[in-house]
Amino acid sequence: KMLDSLQTIANRYARERDCFGDTGTACISCGKWFPFEELDGGHYVPATATHSALRFDERNINAQCHKCNRFLHANLRGYFRGLEKKLGRDGLDDLEAADGPKKWTKEEIDELKLYYKRKLADLRAGIPPTTVADNPFA
């Protein structure tokens, strides 16, 4: 339950970050524009036990249309191209290198919830999104 609650906040942040200043954005996988309500916080590296170190990494969560995320299993070929464009090849390599299993502590979960709540508040106050450098777990 605590992980699910954090995931909801992290996914919400990623969607609002990617839509900042607009009512929607292009899906990272297919490139088509969608309104906010038709976007998910989709993961490039799946949020599973074997990949749990990246579950809440904001580089790994991006606005993705329902079709790509829910029915095309993230449309990984398109996601790769979109993420490479967004992060650069070195950034994508860094993300993939951080992959692996992780057991999240209650303290880490609480810290990340606070982190994402602050970042959401900033976006809603009109403060543009920052880089992931201040993410304690990126």
What is the pLDDT at residue 137?
A: 59
Please indicate, yes or no, whether the overall pTM of this predicted structure exceeds 0.75. yes
Helix 106-124 with 2-18: angle, nearest 10 deg: 30
Beta strands in 12-126 (DSSP E): 24-26, 33-35, 39-43, 61-65
pLDDT tens digits, residue range 67-110? 999 999 999 999 999 999 999 999 999 999 999 999 999 999 99
Residue 102 phi, psi (nearest 5) = -150, 135
